[in-house]
Structure 1
Amino acid sequence: MATTGSVRLHTGQRMPTVGLGTWMLTDGEALKAAIDVGYRHIDTAQYYQNEDRIGEVLEQQIKDGKIMREEMFITTKLTPMGMAPEHVRKETEKSLKRLKTSYIDLYLIHFPVAHSDELLEKGVATPLYKDGTPKTVFIDPLDTWREMEKLVDDGLVKAIGLSNFSLKQVERIYSLARIKPANLQMEIHAWFPQYDFVDFCTKRGISITAYAPIGSPGKPEMPGLGPSGKALLEEPALKEVASKHGKTPAHVLLRNLIQRGIIVIPKSSNPERIRLNFEVFDFELTDEDMDVIKGLNKEKRLFTFGAVGERNFHHPFFPFPEIKDSCDFQDVNKDL
């Protein structure tokens, strides 16, 4: 198994630096391949609808003696439909059952905007307004957080954190929390490095996990998902740095974030790419290399959350003001 790195959370846990992202991943063979290579960090979410498959694979791998539960670091996320305080524990217990584990290593609020719970008992289907956008409700994430703190108290989860929250939202939770966030997961890559936000969290002992660390090149280019990041891997300056080290552009992008102290969760279902994404511990970027990558910054977000619908850009807990401010949709009460 390759030598790997880890980041120490304020809870004392060691969180592996490289994890397997599983958004849109249902292939159990891909997870087996990752474990064989040496991955010990798996990132999933209730919303991905693959916790049960992941649980089956992990259970079998443990039975076969390939891994021990204590070696694995499992991150999952509370569905936006389950953010009402009365649902949090029940939804957590569902995840525990699907993942076939007695505890979750890190549990995140997936998104600060809560969805209606009217279809919650049917799974993770999102109720929709007449215009096809998600039906949202007004639940303060702080109230959700209070219930998540109780999960830590009772040993159901080891650590709790946030995903897709704005800096102001993180600051509010941090300042009012009894148990401080251990991790923030957000979009970070060379086109969207979020230096100030990362610095803000680091100074408060909040670790950072980057999703789309290589630009999510496999993400479909659709209005609801945002632009493709394929061109990021084609940046000439990035290719030059990769060539100098005998590595791929993806290796350089991952290594850049790791050297910034950031955890990365590249997603792939291809066993060869899964292996390659893990080969980032045998080289180091120079300060000059890091400056080159810093120069690629375009402040370009690849996940624009258009699927939430323009009406929800005006929700009081929608986290991204640059998206909200660019929206001229005003009739937010239509069809409510």
Structure 2
Amino acid sequence: MPDHERSQSGMGELVKTRNLADRLDAWSAWTTWTVLAAGGLALISADHFFPAVGMGPLFIPLIALAGWRLGLRASCFVTVLACLLNIFPHHVHEVGLNPNVAVARGIIRFSAYGFTVVVIHALRRAYDRERVRATHDALTNALNRAAFERELETLLDGREPGNRAVALAMIDVDDFKRINDAHGHGAGDHVLRELTAAASRALHGRGRLYRLGGDEFAALMPIASTAAGRPTIERFHQDLSAALGRSRYPTTVSMGGLIFQPSPSLDRAALMHEADGHMYVGKAAGKGQVRIAALRSIAIANADPKPTGAELLPAV
């Protein structure tokens, strides 16, 4: 599997945009191979009926597509096929080319195909690196604030498949300034990386962690129903607390959880503010606390099915 397919799972492909690269990445491997096969057959047929035209250069887009979407080995495989199909000796005789010219043409085409493979492979690697830098925090390798806001916006806009509920957790490291002051910023960085590693283990690929800035994090976790939200967040808090309690610089985390059903009627900033407020209320009551609330959309019978408001259930 190529590197660009090794993405995080759980809540769909991150940061959906409308440029050509992302549209191609949305193709499945089956779709890509189907397009490659159809394109190859079309070129072979055209080459058979119009041998004097020379369809060799038109194999380059197919090689580029294979390299971009399927990886280096697939592009090399398509390149070999293109060479076998396009530089056959019997084709040379049909066109009536001088043998030396035919060999030179074959070498040129093979070189062009090989150059395409190398360039597309390099561009794909550079693209993947820049995409990771644009969506990930450099220190912890957690997803960053921009990725969090876009993912939450995508959920609320209804562009994610399914109709599952979501658990949103806002996380704050207790006494983080004290750790920095007492042990230096290297110690603080260590705590943040420990938290990220612990969250990755706790989420088991069924959610995502985001660093919003400083020692503030957020997690989005898809859940089967709103009833599953409270135990999911509580278990997540327990796992983080246990991991940071065993850290080289032991500390605790305060957490505010909000359980909601995604709907275009909900406001992203309001959701973040609500969950953040529960986290700070819990923090004021004592460090290492978790406070959870459920947000339920109101449905009005025999009326516009679009939710018109929200009711916040009491937090505990």
More helix by share: 2
> In which range does the TM-score fall when normalised by the shorter chain?
under 0.3
TM-score by length of 2: 0.21
Bigger Rg, structure 1 or 2: 2
TM-score by length of 1: 0.20
Structure with the larger RCO, 1 or 2 (CA within 8 Å, 6+ apart): 1
